[in-house]
Amino acid sequence: MTSSSSVQQAREALGKRLREIRKDSGLTARELAARAGWHESKCSRIENGRTGPSDHDLRVWALLCGAEDRTADLIATARNIDGAYVEWRRMERSGLRRAQESVIPVWERTRKFRAYSSWLVPGPLQTRAYIESLLRSIRDRRALPDDLAAAVQVRVDKQRILYEGPHRFAVLLEESALRHRIGGAATMAGQLGHLLSVATLPNVSLGVIPLSADRTALWPVEDFWIFDDAQVNVELVSAFLTITQPHEISMYARTFLGLADLAVYGAPARALITAAIDSLG
């Protein structure tokens, strides 16, 4: 799995900064590589965004180019880029609790949430039983340390933002997300019943895109969250992606609007949820 275009563009931007620093010092790429003891192609790979520099690389670069005062800023920039695309195995190496806690700051500072899901009911709208079934599956599939109870509690506690503070939620679900059975019929029935309840909250807008909707212009896409207009998070099979490039955030915002136009709300949405409950038998 390759990183997103956001990550690549950020690496290229950092490479351009490093090229400018090198040129200002009067060194050629070959001269810098030779003084650093690197392969002669390394500078080119870094400057063109093909290779991400390590902290050590950046310290050496700044030292040899007489720009040591810029070292801290360069390292901070590179670390932010690395944090944009985080493999699950890195985020979850100490268990699921850490992964759940890592997103709390952005959740607490966000005022307008937009969420789209074709797979699952989104986290803030999940019941404890649904959460436990999901996280148990992830723990077992990825062979993670067993901190299931703590991870479930973190996610449950995080749901307080539904009821506290000036947070607004616009949630779009594909009808298929209502039909994917998680944790068995009883757990799923409880989850769908809870969905009917939280949909009545004044700060929650819930839309369901029917299976019968014409998808010629816009088909189902990856699940994503938009936090204000500041960032987008996408959960991939192998990694957790954070998008901060403004033009990409705008693309997700436009996609959300297009998907919202396909959804039904109010009584028609409740009817789809009730039909999904009835199908559980």
* Residue 64 to residue 70: CA distance in whole angstroms: 12
Contact yes or no for 8/49 (Cβ under 8 A): yes
Average per-residue pLDDT for the chain: 93
Three-class HEC string of 70-117 = HHHHHHHHHHHHHHHEEEHHHHCCCCHHHHHHHCHHHHHHCCEEEEEE
Contact yes or no for 169/113 (Cβ under 8 A): yes
What confidence score (pLDDT) does residue 108 get? 93
Pairing between β-strand 112-117 and β-strand 168-174 as defined by DSSP bridges: parallel
For 158-177, what is each residue's pLDDT tens digit?
A: 999 999 989 999 999 999 99
Single out the residue of 243, 238, 242, 241 nearest to residue 88, CA to CA: 238
For 216-237, what is each residue's pLDDT tens digit?
A: 999 999 999 999 998 999 988 8
What confidence score (pLDDT) does residue 91 get? 86
* Residue 117 to residue 119: CA distance in whole angstroms: 6
pTM for the whole structure: 0.78
Q: What percent of the chain has pLDDT over 90?
A: 79
Confidence band for 141, pLDDT divided at 50, 70 and 90: very high
Structure tokens, 204: 């929650």
Q: Long-range contacts: 6-13, Cβ < 8 Å, 24+?
A: 6/84, 6/243, 6/244, 6/245, 6/248, 7/81, 7/84, 7/85, 8/49, 9/49, 9/245, 10/80, 10/81, 10/84, 10/245, 11/49, 11/52, 11/81, 12/48, 12/49, 13/49
Confidence band for 188, pLDDT divided at 50, 70 and 90: very high
What single-letter amino acid sits at 122? P
Question: Is the per-residue pLDDT at 5 higher than 70?
Answer: no
What single-letter amino acid sits at 147? D
Q: What is the mean pLDDT of residues 57-72?
A: 95
